[in-house]
Chains A and B, each alone.
Chain A
Amino acid sequence: MTVDQIDEKRLREVALTPDEYRVIVEQLKRAPNEVELGMLGVLWSEHCSYKTSKALLRRLPSSGAAVLQGPGENAGAVDIGEGWAAVFKIESHNHPSAIEPYQGAATGVGGIIRDIIAMGARPIALLDSLRFGPLPASRHHVNGVVAGIGGYGNCIGIPTVAGEVYFEDCYAQNPLVNAMCVGLVPVHRLMRARAEGTGNSLLLVGADTGRDGIHGASFASVELDENSSERRPAVQVGNPFLEKCLLEACMDLAHTDAVVAIQDLGAAGLTSSVAECAGRVAGAGARIDVSRVPRRERGMTPYHVMLSESQERMLVVVQRGREAEVESIFRAWDLTSAVIGEVTDDGCLTVVDEQHEVARLPVGLLTEGAPLRRLHGVAPAPRPTLDLDHVPPVVDPAAVLLRMLASPNLSSRRGIFRRYDHMVGDSTVVPPGGDAAVLRIKGTRLGLAMTTDCNSRYCHLDPHLGAQLAVAEAARNIVATGAQPLAVTDCLNLANPDRPEVFWELEETIAGLAQACRVLELPIVSGNVSLYNDASGKSAIYPTPVIGMIGVLEDYGRRLEAGLRHEGDFVLLVGSSHNDLGGSEYLKVEHGRVAGRPPALDLARERAVHKLMLAAAGAGLLRSAHDCSDGGMLVALAECCMLGGIGVRCPPMQPEAPIRMDAALFGESPSRFIVSVTSRAMPEMQTLARRHHVEISLLGLAGGDVIEFEGQFRVSLADMRQAWEGDVT
């Protein structure tokens, strides 16, 4: 069959272009059959093949002394000391969550947990980065997604310890749900999902295979439109109980050496799972007998079996002859498992239905064959500029502060995180609500800090700078706990890259990320790209490169939290402030504008501030620390007070020209922290700051139950709390 002869409708169904079809026929030297076409369709989808972003992603730094596993596996892994590896990854589940918020979010959590399990690690924490349209219209999405995350995470018993929630018009049709999971494994037990050893068995374990989620990966690779709700069958339904059993059984696999590899079944199901596993070993192939796959329903064709995205399934490569040993471990957890095929050395993925061959494709064609798309980026029309001379001066800072604290993007997230079990595991030593969360690693003194971050408004105004600011802020969150930032996982959420200005955003985003990660020495060890986040091309999202980051504290006993704790402590602003009102929350809340350039970021300065902070924390000088970001200094100071239950008395704020009062209070200059120290520690703190060439200034003294800038304004803790905790849900 030539390209002309194949029905374009059939190609559209599997999301392949005529050009891609031509490549397939050329490579195979024949036309693919129906099953093969479906398999190629899902694996060549943007979601699986990264055909649009791959060339750009190669620019991201992924190596470093601590890196044990970079991109290309189920998750990245870094050495955190004392024989432990931290395994982590972030992934999007945006499209499913848009049309079926509960299950979309739930299965997003389920999928990322399986990626961690596949590395041999026990998942210890979940984080979620969420973006919605403005309330109250988005309440359906917010409630469904939060309930779905909780429904899955709470049931499976992995604490949800951190994350972020933002509301912005651009997400009204396209909410973003990015789930991150962190796991732990002894370094020597870290696994890789490689189909090694010809003749070894492929064991499928977990849920029976049904017809759910067929073409989910393709669905994720096109724009949502008015017919998207008809795609609801492409959204899977999660079973966290089954995954809990799967998790524990996979942990028990550590007791045997019969297991060669574990691979998650996620997007594109069995096809992707087997192809990826084989694709990581030169010359390896696999032979699958679909008749041996346990099924949920009758009448399923090989096509259905190979493309099903039924959840809670894992592929296990087992040494030949030792299948019974492994199956008995699964049986103890009442899990169904079946040997469905074997590893071969012919470099092909062969699918048979009993004796009958139904598909035979080179593994390389499936995993690496998709022609890379070379798109052209064109800078969009300049974003609205900001002329500060036209921004009226701030009149009543106290009233502004209360309005800011009550605004959807700055208000307390307690109403959300109390719906997540964030304590199970007995390891959460810094709970959600501050900067990064910190988990202790039992049996050691190590603390593992983790966070997600991205201010997409900055990215919209300047994607290159916005991406850098996202990395810098995530790192600041880690540093604020006293931990050394270690490594990154990224989830790049963008609109339709076929539009030149969106592809430009992608290019700029990746360039910004690469630069920030290089300077801050933060390798990106895993990640995910989610494109086509625009409903019918009408409402493109802001570029949203969510940064997931981990860091290590050598002794979690030295961890820092944001809240002021002791009356009489000196409250200091670390870092320098400028007239950074561009893209700020203040500008949006008070003046209804998204305009201007995001705050300028000097990465060398950012680094210097981190070094100072970690030196001061290491010397035991700091009693509290908080990142100063969205909402600026005054909002950060208010958070320090509310979290600690103590006010602060400050001399009048007199910014030096040309710094404006509104910028001093609400500007979002990066590379700043609010810390508290004892009076006795002040001289040493000043010496340290001078040595690191970082400016520190005294804001005031902790104490009382108001924030007061003498002679200027005062706000009581009670009023702030009332504004801040008027829950977003």
Chain B
Amino acid sequence: MKFGVLVFPGTWSDRDCGWVIDQVLGEQLTYLWHKDADLKGCDCVILPGGFAYGDYLRTGAIARFAPVMEKVGEFADRGGLVWGICNGFQILCEAGLLPGALIRNASLEFRCQWTNLSVERVDLAYTSQCEEREVIRVPISHGEGSYFADPATLSRLEQNGQVVFRYCDDGGRVVPSANPNGSLHNIAGIVNKRGNVLGMMPHPERCSEPELGGTDGLKLFRSVVESAARVMVS
């Protein structure tokens, strides 16, 4: 299984994702540069966290125009696994690969803390190792992670079952007090209709070893590895 980790200028979770793929999972890893013209035969492309191009205009607004993004779009259209984490989620929304947008946290402050996520879909390449409604502990680290979409888009997402992760309390209850950033419907992660493009604000690469406080993130990486064979890239 070959993972490609995309690096924009200003990306910083690239090496953390790379560490988990290479050192913890022992899978193949290649870094993809924002100026690259191909995806080097990767089975899964990760858009990691960071502040691509400084995010001075709007998160992800410039990154979507990077040369490599055209290839990422084509890859997604063919059913390839495209996984946006944090800034990567923001970029996927800007690029139109996922609906909605990530806006300023309701607190108007950056938040770096552990959150509980209720896993709502386990039939995906990203979550096959999780159990339905399982509560996983994954940290967030963002200033603009409040998921927003217009009512029509939101109800479509819900109807299609495209919400993959919701912020919840220890007991799995999706309640306002468990929402760290004001996301609508406590949304922490969504998938496209086809199920191959995932965007999530929490950082699974930060909780894939016990010494970092938890290993729930590893379940997602393992799911991708195990499911890879089942996803046919035409």
Q: A residues engaging B (CB < 8 A)?
A: 147, 150, 154-157, 239-242, 244-245, 248, 333-334, 417-426, 428-429, 431, 440, 442, 556-557
Q: What is the chain A residue whose CB lies nearest that of B34?
A: A334
Known: A157-B13, A420-B110, A425-B15. 13 other contacts (CB 8 A): A154-B51, A154-B141, A155-B54, A157-B12, A240-B54, A241-B53, A417-B112, A419-B109, A423-B203, A423-B206, A426-B19, A426-B205, A429-B211
Tell me the residues in window 16-70 of chain B with beta carbons closer than 8 Å to chain A beta carbons.
16, 19-20, 23, 49-51, 53-56
State in angstroms the CA–CA spacing of A695 and B183 once bound together. Answer: 54
State in angstroms the CA–CA spacing of A658 and B12 once bound together. Answer: 57
Which listed residue (B10, B12, B55, B109) contacts A424, Cβ 8 A?
Answer: B12
State in angstroms the CA–CA spacing of A241 and B23 once bound together. Answer: 28
Q: B residues engaging A (CB < 8 A)?
A: 9-13, 15-16, 19-20, 23, 49-51, 53-56, 109-113, 139, 141, 143, 203, 205-206, 209, 211-213
Given contacts A241-B53, A424-B12, A440-B211, contact A418 B113 (CB under 8 A): yes
Which listed residue (B9, B10, B55, B206) contacts A426, Cβ 8 A?
Answer: B206
Given contacts A241-B53, A419-B109, contact A428 B10 (CB under 8 A): no
Given contacts A244-B12, A426-B19, A557-B211, contact A421 B112 (CB under 8 A): yes
Given contacts A239-B54, A556-B211, A557-B211, contact A422 B112 (CB under 8 A): yes
State in angstroms the CA–CA spacing of A419 and B110 once bound together. Answer: 5
The answer to whether A418 touches B51 (Cβ under 8 A) is no
Q: Which residues of B contact A426 (CB under 8 A)?
A: 15-16, 19-20, 205-206, 209, 212
State in angstroms the CA–CA spacing of A154 and B54 once bound together. Answer: 11
Q: Which residues of A contact B141 (CB under 8 A)?
A: 154, 421, 423-424
Q: Which residues of A contact B55 (CB under 8 A)?
A: 155, 241
The answer to whether A428 touches B12 (Cβ under 8 A) is no
State in angstroms the CA–CA spacing of A422 and B140 once bound together. Answer: 11
Which listed residue (A241, A428, A440) contacts B9, Cβ 8 A?
Answer: A241
Q: What is the chain B residue whose CB lies nearest that of A249?
A: B9
State in angstroms the CA–CA spacing of A181 and B83 once bound together. Answer: 32
Q: What is the chain B residue whose CB lies nearest that of A425?
A: B16
The answer to whether B10 touches A241 (Cβ under 8 A) is yes
Given contacts A150-B110, A421-B112, A423-B139, contact A245 B16 (CB under 8 A): no
Q: What is the chain B residue whose CB lies nearest that of A429?
A: B211
Which listed residue (B10, B15, B113) contacts A245, Cβ 8 A?
Answer: B10
The answer to whether A420 touches B112 (Cβ under 8 A) is yes
Which secondary structure dominates chain B's binding surface? mixed
- Chain B proximity of A14: nearest CB distance (Å): 35
Q: Which residues of A contact B49 (CB under 8 A)?
A: 424
Q: Which residues of A contact B23 (CB under 8 A)?
A: 442
State in angstroms the CA–CA spacing of A556 and B141 once bound together. Answer: 24
The answer to whether B16 touches A244 (Cβ under 8 A) is no
The 10 closest A-B pairs by CB, nearest first: A157-B12, A241-B54, A426-B16, A155-B51, A421-B141, A421-B112, A429-B211, A419-B110, A418-B113, A423-B206
Given contacts A239-B54, A241-B51, contact A419 B111 (CB under 8 A): yes
A-B interface pairs (CB < 8 A), number: 82
Given contacts A423-B141, A426-B205, contact A334 B112 (CB under 8 A): no
Q: What is the chain B residue whose CB lies nearest that of A159?
A: B112
Q: Which residues of B contact A422 (CB under 8 A)?
A: 112
- Chain A proximity of B230: nearest CB distance (Å): 29
- Chain B proximity of A302: nearest CB distance (Å): 31
State in angstroms the CA–CA spacing of A420 and B205 once bound together. Answer: 18
State in angstroms the CA–CA spacing of A390 and B34 once bound together. Answer: 70
State in angstroms the CA–CA spacing of A241 and B54 once bound together. Answer: 5
- Chain A proximity of B177: nearest CB distance (Å): 14
Question: 6 A-B Cβ contacts within 8 A?
Answer: A155-B51, A241-B9, A423-B112, A426-B205, A429-B211, A429-B212
Which listed residue (B9, B50, B209, B213) contacts A334, Cβ 8 A?
Answer: B9
The answer to whether B9 touches A419 (Cβ under 8 A) is no
Q: Which residues of B contact A241 (CB under 8 A)?
A: 9-10, 51, 53-56
Q: Which residues of B contact A431 (CB under 8 A)?
A: 213
Q: Which residues of B contact A429 (CB under 8 A)?
A: 211-212
Q: Which residues of B contact A155 (CB under 8 A)?
A: 10, 51, 54-55
State in angstroms the CA–CA spacing of A155 and B53 once bound together. Answer: 10
State in angstroms the CA–CA spacing of A417 and B19 once bound together. Answer: 25
State in angstroms the CA–CA spacing of A574 and B226 once bound together. Answer: 51
Q: What is the chain B residue whose CB lies nearest that of A151?
A: B110
- Chain B proximity of A478: nearest CB distance (Å): 19
The answer to whether A154 touches B110 (Cβ under 8 A) is yes
- Chain B proximity of A434: nearest CB distance (Å): 13
Q: What is the chain A residue whose CB lies nearest that of B7?
A: A248
Q: Which residues of A contact B13 (CB under 8 A)?
A: 157, 424
Q: Which residues of A contact B9 (CB under 8 A)?
A: 241, 244-245, 248, 333-334
Tell which of B10, B206, B213 has the most Cβ of chain A within 10 Å.
Answer: B10
Q: Which residues of B contact A440 (CB under 8 A)?
A: 211
Q: Which residues of A contact B54 (CB under 8 A)?
A: 155, 239-242
- Chain B proximity of A383: nearest CB distance (Å): 39
State in angstroms the CA–CA spacing of A244 and B54 once bound together. Answer: 9
Q: Which residues of B contact A442 (CB under 8 A)?
A: 19, 23
Q: Which residues of B contact A425 (CB under 8 A)?
A: 15-16
- Chain B proximity of A605: nearest CB distance (Å): 34
Q: Which residues of A contact B19 (CB under 8 A)?
A: 426, 442
- Chain B proximity of A143: nearest CB distance (Å): 9
